[in-house]
Amino acid sequence: MCAAPLLPLEDALRILAAAFPPPATPEIRADRDDPALDLSSMDGAALRSQDGAAPRRVLGTLFAGDDPAAFRVEPGTCVRIMTGAALPPGADAVVPVEDLVQGPQGLTPAAPPLPGAHVRPRGSQARKGDLLLPPGAPAGAGHTGLLAQVGLPTPPLARLRVGIVPTGDEITAHPAPHQIRDSNGPMLEALAHALGAEVRRLPPLPDRPEAVRDFLLGLGDLQILLTSGGVSAGDKDHLPRVLEAMGARILFHRIRLKPGKPMLTALLDGRVILGLPGNPVSSYMNALLFLPVAMAGLQGRRAPDPWKEGRLAAAVPNPGDRPLLHPCRREGRDLHPLPSQGSADLVRLAQADAFAWVPEGGMGAGPTRYLDTL
Amino acid sequence: MCAAPLLPLEDALRILAAAFPPPATPEIRADRDDPALDLSSMDGAALRSQDGAAPRRVLGTLFAGDDPAAFRVEPGTCVRIMTGAALPPGADAVVPVEDLVQGPQGLTPAAPPLPGAHVRPRGSQARKGDLLLPPGAPAGAGHTGLLAQVGLPTPPLARLRVGIVPTGDEITAHPAPHQIRDSNGPMLEALAHALGAEVRRLPPLPDRPEAVRDFLLGLGDLQILLTSGGVSAGDKDHLPRVLEAMGARILFHRIRLKPGKPMLTALLDGRVILGLPGNPVSSYMNALLFLPVAMAGLQGRRAPDPWKEGRLAAAVPNPGDRPLLHPCRREGRDLHPLPSQGSADLVRLAQADAFAWVPEGGMGAGPTRYLDTL
């Protein structure tokens, strides 16, 4: 019905990742020398290197955070020191505990220490005012830690607001034999929640273009919308046409993947619309692939890479003209194919530890990439 | 100071994963035949196969969710049908749109259809009452979808309550040169939040055993506690001794990893205590490795596998006797080592896309495994 060539999955992932502006993170400069003093990098004794292997009387102990001015190391003395503690005035080296001998005259180094041994010198990491990270660096826990270290405000712990709406007149809470329950809604809700989103599950959308349009006009403060169904090329698949008519920027529609061909991704008024196929496994698979990319894009984090390298333990046929993601039980890196009945097979999805990549034409046992389930 | 052999990282990860009971998920049985009726697996026409390639008059259209009793397919007729719709009475096969020719007498199949063609027969996935999943199967989004499909209640969307407390007298909001700000607290908070936890950041703990003990007695409804610092073998490292005195079950203490050797993991009154080292990169690294395992264990999900296979693009020395996780910029699967200054180097942590595994003795350019940062 639609002759447009299908987009390879890697292109689709790249296009979505590229749809976001660079991270809005600030420049980070050192607010003081780092470390701010000469610090010990070992538990041991702080002493004068020029006094060689002579015994030293212990003046006391310095822990990380202690003011080193409490002591002054003179010839014949030393201070016990813990990792991270600042060197007391007079000391220029640290001898680790394991190289110290306790005797009647104090502590004796096993060998003459070198100047600066086991010392992290003041400013060796950075000088006050140094540019540590330029603006626009990816956000993340490490970035937050660095902001805190130099005394800059850390970003608020926001959760992305993700809406989930199944589409289709066949969905009902108490189904007749020709109807079905909504399994995609709870499944996608669990997936998005596990990915850290604040999820709002919305009632199923009927198969009418006006209903789809009215719904899309009332998304409120949602930042990402997951729809399931209504995105293929059938007469009741209104989402692509309605989005286009509303001026959404369609990033892509229809990808070269089984299950999941009808997948659509669009930007609408700053929101990300992930139009997932209606079949449960297709819906799950595309959410697993694209939702983390959309979330990272909106949060200024690095685009995640979902692939791992494993080994298919048995042959999997794939007569179609699209690469297949096949449910597997995983043991270490060995992927044991489950007897999937296709994109409606929620049992195999629930059993799967991973989905293995099987190229067009199928493949025998051997190395391939895979996705872990969530 | 401590002669006990260090635990290899893989053993530590396995021990933590094995510390949790099996998932408390219920048995799942089919509440009806699946599918409940014969369904079309294509968009096309539902018809009688025994009438061969003769033209058929179109009676109407059936969409997924339509009641198929609206039509009866007699000789010389057919019903347009969409993927997922139930076959109308009388029809036993579906011919896909692309194999149909529209003519004056209706739709003509390009070839005589076979009985059952493009039909998902009633009960072909499961029969009513069939055991779909035994109790104790791993929880997860697919499991939730299957529960919803058969009409069972889905688990609530709970977030694990994770407390974060730095330890150490050197931590203060307005540091003198021998003091430092708390960078681990905000960093670990961001990490745990990104992993989906409900995080509570607590004020730094002073280096006194009674303070540590009182704190551990007042954990309230926290399910996981991340501490940073105070877990090594120094005089002010009270956490291991206090935990032992309180009857905690120490899962392991000290692992063969750089950075991160002092890592401690314990169970205390049903809570998981992750005693992270105090250095920022050690703290981050061990949280990245162990927190997802603890969270999955408490939630009955599969233990996550953090490793990917990549290629170190340049040699990295590692003179120590522990495997090293070295910060890298990642391009595809190529890992470019950053000039790290060790476990206090938050700049390199913030810049790193990944941490590459470098065995004892170091390695040249070549294949190795790695962790993505978060």
Sorted by where each starts, the structural domains of chain A and their CATH numbers stand as 7-23+157-299 (3.40.980.10), 28-32+125-149 (no CATH), 39-120 (2.170.190.11), 308-372 (2.40.340.10)
Of B86, B142, B168, Cβ closest to residue A64: B168
Measure the CA–CA gap between A109 and A58, rounded to whole angstroms: 13
Going from the C-alpha of A11 to that of each of A14, A31, A131, A257, A313, the distances in angstroms are: 5, 42, 35, 12, 28
Q: What is the pLDDT of residues B234-244, one digit of tens each?
A: 778 899 999 99
Helix-then-strand count for chain A, H and E:
7, 23
Q: What is the pLDDT of residues B102-111, one digit of tens each?
A: 999 999 999 9
The whole-number pLDDT of residue A4 equals 66
Q: What is the pLDDT of residues B332-341, one digit of tens each?
A: 999 999 998 7
If DSSP codes are grouped into helix, strand and coil, which group holds residue B57?
strand
Q: Which of B27, B183, B235 to mutate to test the interface with A (most CBs of A within 10 A)?
A: B183
**Contact predicate B268/B218, CB 8 Å:** no
Which residues in B lie closer than 8 A to residue A65 (C-beta atoms)? Answer: 168-171, 178-180
Given CB atoms, is A128 within the 8 Å cutoff of chain B?
no
Contact A65 B179 (CB under 8 A): yes
Contact B349 A86 (CB under 8 A): no
Contact A144 B190 (CB under 8 A): yes
Going from the C-alpha of A184 to that of each of A180, A205, B141, B142, B144, the distances in angstroms are: 11, 13, 10, 9, 9
Contact B190 A234 (CB under 8 A): no
Nearest chain A residue to B339 by CA: give it: A125
Measure the CA–CA gap between A255 and A10, rounded to whole angstroms: 10
Given CB atoms, is A146 within the 8 Å cutoff of chain B?
yes
Task: Measure B94 CA to nearest chain A CA, in Å.
Answer: 16
Write down the ipTM of this complex. Answer: 0.93
Contact B304 A372 (CB under 8 A): yes
The whole-number pLDDT of residue A340 equals 82
Task: Classify strands B255-256 and B324-331 as parallel, antiparallel or unpaired.
Answer: unpaired
Question: One digit per residue, pLDDT tens: chain A, 374 residues?
Answer: 445 689 999 999 999 999 999 999 999 999 999 999 999 999 999 999 999 999 999 999 999 889 999 999 999 999 999 988 999 999 999 999 999 999 999 999 999 999 999 999 999 989 999 999 999 999 999 999 999 999 999 999 999 999 999 998 889 999 999 999 999 999 999 999 999 999 999 999 998 999 999 999 999 999 999 999 988 877 788 999 999 999 999 999 999 999 989 999 999 999 999 999 998 999 999 999 999 999 999 999 999 999 999 999 999 999 989 999 999 999 999 999 999 878 889 999 999 999 999 999 999 999 999 999 99
The whole-number pLDDT of residue B3 equals 52
Which residues in B lie closer than 8 A to residue A149 (C-beta atoms)? Answer: 180-181, 183, 280, 346
Q: How many C-beta atoms surround the C-beta of residue A135 within 10 A?
A: 12
Which residues in B lie closer than 8 A to residue A133 (C-beta atoms)? Answer: 347, 350-351
Measure the CA–CA gap between A353 and A130, rounded to whole angstroms: 46
Given CB atoms, is B84 within the 8 Å cutoff of chain A?
yes
Question: One digit per residue, pLDDT tens: chain B, 374 residues?
Answer: 445 689 999 999 999 999 999 999 999 999 999 999 999 999 999 999 999 999 999 999 999 889 999 999 999 999 999 988 999 999 999 999 999 999 999 999 999 999 999 999 999 989 999 999 999 999 999 999 999 999 999 999 999 999 999 998 889 999 999 999 999 999 999 999 999 999 999 999 998 999 999 999 999 999 999 999 988 877 788 999 999 999 999 999 999 999 989 999 999 999 999 999 998 999 999 999 999 999 999 999 999 999 999 999 999 999 989 999 999 999 999 999 999 878 889 999 999 999 999 999 999 999 999 999 99
Given CB atoms, is A190 within the 8 Å cutoff of chain B?
yes
Of B232, B347, B373, Cβ closest to residue A133: B347
Segment 342-361 of chain A within 8 Å of chain B by CB: 344-347, 349-353
The whole-number pLDDT of residue A213 equals 97
Task: Measure B309 CA to nearest chain A CA, in Å.
Answer: 6
Where helices occur in B218-357 by DSSP H, the ranges are 239-245, 280-299, 346-351
Of B177, B191, B350, Cβ closest to residue A37: B177
Going from the C-alpha of A25 to that of each of A131, A140, B218, the distances in angstroms are: 14, 10, 37
Given CB atoms, is A50 within the 8 Å cutoff of chain B?
no
Whether the link from the prior residue into A359 is cis, omega within 30° of 0, is: no
Q: Which two tokens stand for residue B68?
A: 């198929």
H/E stretch holding A211: helix A209-217
If DSSP codes are grouped into helix, strand and coil, which group holds residue A9?
helix
Nearest chain A residue to B184 by CA: give it: A145
CB neighbour class for A81 (10 Å; exposed up to 12, middle 13-18, buried from 19)? buried
The whole-number pLDDT of residue A3 equals 52
Contact B194 A196 (CB under 8 A): yes
Given CB atoms, is B268 within the 8 Å cutoff of chain A?
no
Task: Measure A338 CA to nearest chain B CA, in Å.
Answer: 14
Q: Percent of chain B scored above 70 by pLDDT? A: 99
Contact A148 B351 (CB under 8 A): no
Q: Which two tokens stand for residue A192?
A: 């998005």
HSE-up (13 A, CA, CB side) for residue B173: 2
Of B98, B146, B193, Cβ closest to residue A347: B146
Nearest chain A residue to B233 by CA: give it: A43
Q: How many C-beta atoms surround the C-beta of residue B210 within 10 A?
A: 10
